[in-house]
Each structure stands twice: as structure tokens, then as C-alpha cells.
Structure 1
């Protein structure tokens, strides 16, 4: 069973930064979905930024959504770059 999303932050280039209930922080690229049906509305960046957590996944005001399973399975662990000296 995949963990639920507890926080979402919209980033540049149609990326969502997700925090899951197991404290994993992962990134999900929405851009592959932008040409499909109801997801086309997400191309509007101001609308894209209206994302919120709902039912363990994420959704937008006009009910476009991604389930926790889709988000966890298709996302990547967030990588943190080490400082360079």
C-alpha cells in the first residue's frame, strides 16, 4: 500500500514536490499529462499552482486529480545537491 500525500508544493516546469506520510519527499512531473483531456487546463500556470492535497492524492479546483498510488509510483525521490566549495 502506497503512502498518502500530506503536502504538495507546485514548482516550475509543471513539477509537484510531494511529501508523503512516510516522510518521503518526491517530485512528480505533470508535463506528460498536459495534452490529455481534462489535464490540458493545467497548462495555465496560475491554475496549476492551485493544486491541493485531497483524499491522500492531489487535485485542482475543477477536479483534475492524481491518486496517491499514481503519484508515488511515477514520482522520483527528491535529490538534494551537496554544496560545492
Structure 2
């Protein structure tokens, strides 16, 4: 699928760059309000830095992941996905 994530790396706490199988690249940024629920632990820069790719998903330990299709759509529209 063109929205499968093939590369991802942290740029700074709360922000990472992603590349999809179709060649699209962009960034994902967490607004302060996004750190709630399952994402609360990612407020810690050490936890956020543990980002990795698992089966084409951007993932963190503890089964935290982001939907690649939604990420792709937002990045295709504006170059960035701001999670709020």
C-alpha cells in the first residue's frame, strides 16, 4: 500500500519525520493537548525517542501506534500531521 511507512525518525521530542512506500514524506507533530490517554507516556522525551516501525506502522513500546492511512492523508494535504 502507498501509505505503508518505510522510514521514520525523531527530529525532536514530539516531532518526527516519516516516509511512505509511495514516496511521500512529511512530519508528524504532537500538540501539547495530544499527550493524553494512551499517548500520555510519550510526553517523556525518552519514551518518545523509542519510536520504531512495526509492520508499516509508526509504533512505540506499549502497543502505541498511529494509523498510517490517516497520517498519509494529512501529510499529503499539508506536509504535516498535527495531532491535537
User: Max radius of gyration: which structure?
Assistant: 1
Would you say same fold, with TM above 0.5?
Answer: yes
**Which residue does the alignment assign to 1:77?**
79
Question: RMSD across aligned C-alpha pairs, in angstroms?
Answer: 1.9
Shift of 1:23: 1.5
Alignment of 1:1-85 (within 5 A): 2-31=2-31, 32-34=33-35, 36-75=36-75, 76-77=78-79
Shift of 1:2: 4.9
Higher-strand-fraction structure: 2
Unmatched tracts of structure 2, length 5 or more? none
Unmatched tracts of structure 1, length 5 or more? 79-85
TM-score, with length taken from structure 2: 0.78
| Deviating 4+ runs (over 6 angstroms) | none
**For this pair of structures, how many residues does the alignment match?**
77
